[in-house]
Amino acid sequence: MEPTVYFVIPCYNEEAVLPETCSRLTEKLDSMREKALIGPGSRILFVDDGSKDKTWELIAQYNRENPWVEGVKLAHNRGHQNALLCGLMTAMPLCDCAISMDADLQDDIDALDQFVTKFREGCDVVYGVRNKRETDTWFKRTTAEGFYKVMKTLGVDVVFNHADYRLMSKRALEGLSEYREVNLFLRGIVPLIGYRSDYVYYDRHERFAGESKYPLKKMLSFALDGITSFSVKPLKLISNLGILISALSVFGLLYALISYFAGVTVSGWTAIVCSIWLLGGLQMLCLGVVGGYIGKIYSEVKARPRFRVETYLQNKQEK
Ligand code: UDP
Ligand code: MG
């Protein structure tokens, strides 16, 4: 029996790319169906992450016209990771496996056959890994690759150059559903689930149209602690203050040294002033880091819902 595969695609203000994404995926699914790679119950599941443009109208229209398409509308914008989780959890009871990918066609859809083939060979998780990062700017490439290295050094098990293009079997999804964290970082969680896994290598394309929803600031905060919670911000301010004061202490240090050599100080003053500045800055920095962890505990303890589904448009049309 061919597996029922759900293609889960989070979309935030993607009206510029959706028509193309939908038509290319439809074509792809038709051909996979012809090759008997996927079953007739397979679906493309677009998750509208509280878009402000016409994204949802488009999804609803495709859902009426195209038997492959289903849509979930979130009640508000919850960010890529939460939107993805919502899509995967919606697909879980309905599918044999789900493949997550971006709406902007950056993830090569021609690699989809290989994902499904590996699944049929018995893999529960298949990671999409980029061959090269030529389409990214030098800055994005360097920071992203640096990030993977830092994560590895810190002992976090992440797959190098793998974003969120991946296949998960039903039981892997059930495993995922047991992870209840609010600070969601899926590529950190998935390797923890276990089961047999494999890799599919692909070339990452340029964003097809529209703008990246991950500007530098968003990327940094994603890298630092997954999804930021509004209540953690004051704590972050403390560590920023610490950095600022540490930097200022260098000037304080210069000033103290110059005064010393100019002979306008009492002895011992220099050492005291330098250590006050340096240690004060360092203490605030450390306090900020500790505060960051407390902030995370705070949001985890509250365990607020990670997403709320407003509408789910299923598709029962015959394919
Ligand atoms: N996205 C989302 N919610 C957000 C931001 C982004 O669902 O708040 C989706 C977006 O529509 C896209 C995917 O996440 O399908 C990846 O975003 P993007 O392509 O902008 O990131 P980049 O590829 O530039 O890192
Ligand atoms: Mg993209």
Rounded distance between C-alpha atoms, residue 149 and residue 66, angstroms: 43
Beta pairing class for 125-130 and 43-48:
unpaired
Whether 32 lines ligand 1, by a CB cut-off of 6 Å, is: no
- pLDDT of 319 reads 65
Tell me the mean pLDDT in the region 79-104. Answer: 94
Amino acid 225: pLDDT? 55
Q: Which atom of ligand 1 is nearest to the CA of 14?
A: 11
Distance 98 CA to ligand 1 centre (A): 18
Of all protein residues, the one whose alpha carbon is nearest to atom 6 of ligand 1 is: 80
Q: How far apart are CA 151 and CA 188, in angstroms?
A: 9
Most confident of 78-82, 209-213, 288-292, 313-317: 78-82
Q: What is the maximum span of the chain, computed from C-alpha positions, in angstroms?
A: 90
How remote is the CA of residue 70 from the centroid of ligand 2, in Å? Answer: 21
Say yes or no: CB of residue 281 within 6 Å of ligand 1. Answer: no
Say what the pLDDT of residue 162 is. 85
Looking at residue 233, what is its pLDDT?
Answer: 55
Higher-scoring residue by pLDDT: 211, 116: 116
Whether 32 shows a pLDDT value over 50: the answer reads: yes
Residue with the larger pLDDT of the pair 14 and 158: 14
Nearest residue CA, atom 23 of ligand 1?
Answer: 212
Considering the chain, what percentage of its residues have pLDDT values greater than 70?
92
Query: Is the pLDDT at 25 greater than 50, yes or no?
Result: yes
Tell me the average pLDDT across 2-27: 93
Arithmetic mean of pLDDT, 28-43: 92
Using the predicted structure, report yes or no on whether residue 227 has a pLDDT greater than 60.
Answer: no
- How far apart CA 169 and CA 119 sit, in angstroms, is 8
Residues 6+ apart with CB under 8 A from 249: 274, 277, 278, 280, 281
DSSP one-letter string for the chain: ----EEEEEEESS-TTTHHHHHHHHHHHHHHHHHTTSS-TT-EEEEEE-S-SSSHHHHHHHHHHH-TTEEEEEESS---HHHHHHHHHHHHGGG-SEEEE--TTS-S-GGGHHHHHHHHHTT-SEEEEEES--TTS-HHHHHHHHHHHHHHHHTT----TTEEEEEEEEHHHHHHHHT---SS--HHHHHHHH-S-EEEEEEPPPPP-SS--S--HHHHHHHHHHSS--GGGHHHHHHHHHHHHHHHHHHHHHHHHHHHHHHT-S-TTHHHHHHHHHHHHHHHHHHHHHHHHHHHHHHHHHHT--S--EEEEE------
Q: Do 44 and 295 contact (CB within 8 A), yes or no?
A: no
Distance (angstroms) between ligand 2 centre and the Cα of 254 equals 46
Label the pairing between strands 69-74 and 125-130.
unpaired
pLDDT mean across residues, the chain: 85
Q: Is the CB of 107 under 6 A from ligand 1?
A: no
Burial of residue 85, with CB atoms counted within 10 A of its CB: 0-12 exposed, 13-18 middle, 19 or more buried: buried
Residue of 267, 273, 264, 305 lying closest to 180 (CA atoms): 305
More confident call, 173 vs 225: 173
Give 200 Cα–ligand 1 centroid separation in angstroms: 21
Here the tokens at position 274 are: 């330098």
pLDDT of residue 273: 81
The residue with greater pLDDT, 314 or 208, is 314
Confidence band for 228, pLDDT divided at 50, 70 and 90:
very low
50 C-beta closer than 6 A to ligand 1: no
For residue 87 and ligand 1, the question of a CB distance below 6 A is answered with no
Ligand 1 atom 2 nearest Cα: 80
Question: Distance (Å, rounded) from C-alpha 63 to C-alpha 315?
Answer: 7
Looking at per-residue confidence, does 200 or 136 come out higher?
200
- Atom number in ligand 1 closest to CA 47: 7
Please give the pLDDT value at position 11: 95
Atom 1 of ligand 1: nearest residue by CA position:
80
Query: Quick check: CB of 77 below 6 Å from ligand 1?
Result: yes
Q: For residues 280 and 221, which has the higher predicted lDDT (pLDDT)?
A: 280
Nearest to 10 by CA among 61, 66, 55, 57: 55
- Position 280 scores a pLDDT of 82
Atom of ligand 1 nearest to the CA of 78: 8
Does the beta carbon of 101 lie inside 6 Å of ligand 1? no
**135 within ligand 1 shell (Cβ under 6 A):** no
CA of 107 to the centre of ligand 1 (A): 12
pLDDT above 70 (res 47): yes
